[in-house]
Amino acid sequence: MATNDVTVISNLLYVNVIGLILGGSYLVIGFYYRRSFYSAIPALGQLKPDEWIASLPTAQSYAQKQLLDRMVSSHGLHMQQLQKLIDEKREHQEYILSWIHEMKLPIAAGRLLIVNSEGKSTDYIADRFEDELSEIDHFVEQAMYYSRIDSFASEYLIAEVSLQNSTLSFYNLCYNSTGTIERFARAVG
């Protein structure tokens, strides 16, 4: 029985050593096989955005293909967002340039009114000058509206509220239990 135990232990040891050698070989060979793929990825950061997609390494497994697909789709999304920002900036610059030209017109008209005011009544000149100032005011309001158009939703919250609930909340906030208006003075002051 003792030799049988020794044989079982030696067979068990033999199987474990062979399994360890095969498992280690699999890991080492897999590492060297996949190392070329993973070592090529950091080098992509040195390339220009247009060149890196063409320089992507070939996927060697399904997981690597998924990684490459996500990188390409993220790059595409980033490029779309970048193009959108560039277009918005260009549109904003065009608007500002046209606004400046529109502003020059009433200013020039006001100067011409002053230069050509001989022989005209003061009321007529003041009325025409007021028209030009109103036009300038209109253009300034237009520019202010345009500058807020992207953030309008974050600046204003338009909602229907109950006047009774609002009044009761304000009343409860301002008046303490004794009926004095100490909190009101702090809230207003």
The 3 state secondary structure assigned to the chain is CHHHHHHHHHHHHHHHHHHHHHHHHHHHHHHHHHHHHHHHHHHHHHCCHHHHCCCCCCCCCHHHHHHHHHHHHHHHHHHHHHHHHHHHHHHHHHHHHHHHHHHHHHHHHHHHHHHCCCCCCHHHHHHHHHHHHHHHHHHHHHHHHHHHCCCHHHHCCCCCCCHHHHHHHHHHHHCCCCCCCHHHHHHHC
CA distance 144 to 137: 11
From 61, 70, 74, 69, select the one nearest 35 (Cα to Cα): 61
Domain ranges within the chain, ordered by starting residue: 1-46, 86-156, 159-189
Q: Tell me the pTM.
A: 0.50
More confident residue, 152 or 163: 163
145-154: average pLDDT = 60
By percentage, how much of the chain surpasses pLDDT 90?
A: 14
Query: Which amino acid, 27?
Result: L
More confident residue, 179 or 32: 32
Q: Give the tens place of pLDDT for each residue, 85-143.
A: 999 889 888 888 887 887 788 788 778 877 787 888 878 888 887 888 888 888 888 77
Which class is 86-156 in CATH? Answer: mainly alpha
Enter the tokens of residue 167.
């009044």
Enter the tokens of residue 95.
């608007």
Enter the tokens of residue 160.
């229907």
Poorest-pLDDT segment among 30-39, 135-144, 156-165: 156-165
Angle in degrees, CA 141, 145, 147, rounded to 5: 115
